[in-house]
Structure 1
């Protein structure tokens, strides 16, 4: 038997400028096609550097070297 490991549908690299509010991105993102839409969810990328959408499995990763600011 093989282990049941969920591979991401896609990996989307984001920059600090792509983050909204307190360091989140939303999924589905504007680049995804209409047929794959699900309810909009906000994913915290700033805390750990990545987040996975529970609906579609897309992983959002902060690009290497990006710094998340804590104020504007």
Structure 2
């Protein structure tokens, strides 16, 4: 069992795609750590967690997602 700390990526509203989602793996992740691309809803609760690698994507404090 790994004691690796959970990676948290803080996002601004402009980092989100479409209806408030972000994809993982993100472009800053090293090639060796890639997994199938998944879209994670961040707009609904302010954060979401990747089911593959456990990375948490969270809106920065005070960020608002504007609906269209």
Which TM-score applies when normalising by structure 1? Answer: 0.86
Larger radius of gyration: 1
Cα distance, 1:26 vs structure 2: 0.2
TM superposition outliers: structure 1 runs of 4+ over 6 Å? none
Q: How many residues align?
A: 66
Taking the aligned partners of 1:68 and 1:51, their CA distance within structure 2 comes to: 14
Which TM-score applies when normalising by structure 2? Answer: 0.91
RMSD: 1.5
Name the residue aligned to 1:37. 34
Name the residue aligned to 2:53. 56
Name the residue aligned to 2:67. 70
* Matching of residue 10 in structure 1 with residue 7 in structure 2: yes
Cα distance, 1:9 vs structure 2: 2.9
Name the residue aligned to 1:3. none
- Structure 2 portions without partners, runs of 5+: none
- Structure 1 portions without partners, runs of 5+: 1-5
Name the residue aligned to 1:27. 24
